[in-house]
Amino acid sequence: MSTRMQTPTQPAATELARPPEAGRKRRAVRLPEQTLARNVLITAVLALILFALSENFDPFTNLRLATVAYYFTALAGLTVLTGLNGQISLGHGALMAVGAYSTAILVGRSGLPLAAALAASAAITALVGVAVGAAASRLRGPYLAGATLAFAIGLPGLADKYPSAFGGENGLTVSPPTPPTSLGANFPLERWQAWISCACALIVFLVLANLLRSGVGRSFRAVRDDEVAAQLAGLNVARVQVLAFVVSSACAGLAGGALVVTTQLAAPGAFQLSLSLALLTGIVLGGLGSLTGALWGALALVYLPQWSDDIAHDFSLSTNVQSNLPLALYGIVLIVVIVAAPQGIQGALHGIVRRSRARLRKNPATQEGA
């Protein structure tokens, strides 16, 4: 798990430390040792995979891909905040709303190009994150949860209070982003939306994957593990916590912008408390503190309601049962997965990989031709 402390290694030391591998197959591909290079390579590979997928998907599945991508963007930021830095936030749905409304206003009213609007939205949300983070740095545990929950509930009220600016209950509609003419006249809109959303996700992945391994990431973990020790080591705890909030807010803001691109809407009804709770559910379900966990969480958030809906429709039941069955299944799955896999899906997978590797390692004598 990425939350474990890393023993500092250098390339030479690793060579010496590796045991003799007389009978073992050499891995054909070796990833670079440098963090940045490695992550850039992984990002490039992922980009290629996503490109290939989006070429082959039908429009609706491309929309699903875009949805998974923007959920990943938000979840990645949140898992860094909560998993790495130990601050619980029930308000990230509201931060997504800030990003969404910013994008909607910048694109719709000011006619800014999309890329600039998305970047600006992330920046605006990061600014809001400074304020929220500053307040949050004084709070711990359930008090932080309560304050961020109040934030999640209170903020959408602004849309109703200033209907001329924010469109009130109906919110703001944004016209769909037009693909550039260089891609051809018939380039499907949904694929373009998927590309934009995936681009945001890949950028966030690259930045956070590097951050996890950097000094900043270590300072996050240090503050989470023991505030007093971190302070004694010279870290400014409050500043670290605010930084974590800012990073996760920027991700949430970008995700909100991608949401606007995908759904063409920014309305209070889309950013209720249930969204914040869903985000929290996503990171825990996927595996706290890991980016792959954020991916599992994003998939779960998009596909779990879909699957429970499909299963419910397979039975023909009375209306009451039929309309509530998807929710019941969703709740049951949440409970069962957390109880069965306390480290989330990523943790469970990691455990399986580790156990099977241990089992293989247990019988080296019988395998190396004696």
Binding residues for other proteins restricted to 317-356, rule: CB under 8 A = 318-321, 323-328, 330-335, 338-339, 342, 346, 349-350, 353
- Residue 273 binds other proteins (CB under 8 A): yes
Binding residues for other proteins restricted to 126-145, rule: CB under 8 A = 135, 138-143, 145
CB of 265 within 8 A of CB of 35? Answer: no
CB of 13 to other proteins, least distance (A): 10
Q: How many residues bind other proteins (CB under 8 A)?
A: 106
Task: Give whichever of 117 and 284 is closer to other proteins, judged by the CB atom.
Answer: 284
CB of 190 to other proteins, least distance (A): 8
Task: Give whichever of 56 and 366 is closer to other proteins, judged by the CB atom.
Answer: 56
Task: Give whichever of 30 and 362 is closer to other proteins, judged by the CB atom.
Answer: 30
- Residue 193 binds other proteins (CB under 8 A): no
Q: Which residues contact 96 (CB under 8 A, 6 or more apart)?
A: 74, 252, 253, 255, 256, 259, 271, 275
CB of 14 to other proteins, least distance (A): 5
Q: What angle do CA 244, 246, 252 make, to 5 degrees?
A: 105
- Residue 208 binds other proteins (CB under 8 A): no
Binding residues for other proteins restricted to 22-41, rule: CB under 8 A = 30-31, 33, 38
Of 129, 171, 253, 256, the residue at the interface with other proteins (CB under 8 A) is 171
Task: Give whichever of 156 and 217 is closer to other proteins, judged by the CB atom.
Answer: 156
Query: Is residue 179 helix, strand or coil?
Result: coil
CB of 319 to other proteins, least distance (A): 5
Binding residues for other proteins restricted to 291-320, rule: CB under 8 A = 291-292, 295-296, 299, 303, 306, 309, 318-320
- Residue 173 binds other proteins (CB under 8 A): yes
Task: Give whichever of 71 and 124 is closer to other proteins, judged by the CB atom.
Answer: 71
The token duo for 222 is 């240090």
CB of 183 to other proteins, least distance (A): 19
CA separation for the pair 297, 344 (Å, rounded): 9
Task: Give whichever of 114 and 329 is closer to other proteins, judged by the CB atom.
Answer: 329
Binding residues for other proteins restricted to 77-106, rule: CB under 8 A = 82, 88
In whole angstroms, how far apart are CA 157 and each of 11, 69, 264?
55, 27, 21
What pairing do the DSSP bridges indicate for beta strands 265-266 and 172-173? antiparallel
Give me the helix-helix angle, 189-213 and 215-225, nearest 10°: 70
Residue with tokens 């890949």: 202
CA separation for the pair 17, 25 (Å, rounded): 18
CB of 295 to other proteins, least distance (A): 6
DSSP state of 185: T
CB of 302 to other proteins, least distance (A): 8
Dihedral sign from CA coordinates of 330, 332, 338, 341: negative
- Residue 183 binds other proteins (CB under 8 A): no
Binding residues for other proteins restricted to 223-242, rule: CB under 8 A = 228, 231-232
Residue environment code for 2-23, b if the CB has 16+ CB neighbours within 10 A, otherwise e: bbeeeeeeeeeeeeeeeeeeee
Of 123, 199, 235, 265, the residue at the interface with other proteins (CB under 8 A) is 265
Give me the helix-helix angle, 291-314 and 59-79, nearest 10°: 130
- Residue 359 binds other proteins (CB under 8 A): no
Long-range contacts formed by 223-232: CB under 8 A, 24+ apart: 223/85, 223/86, 224/84, 224/85, 224/86, 225/86
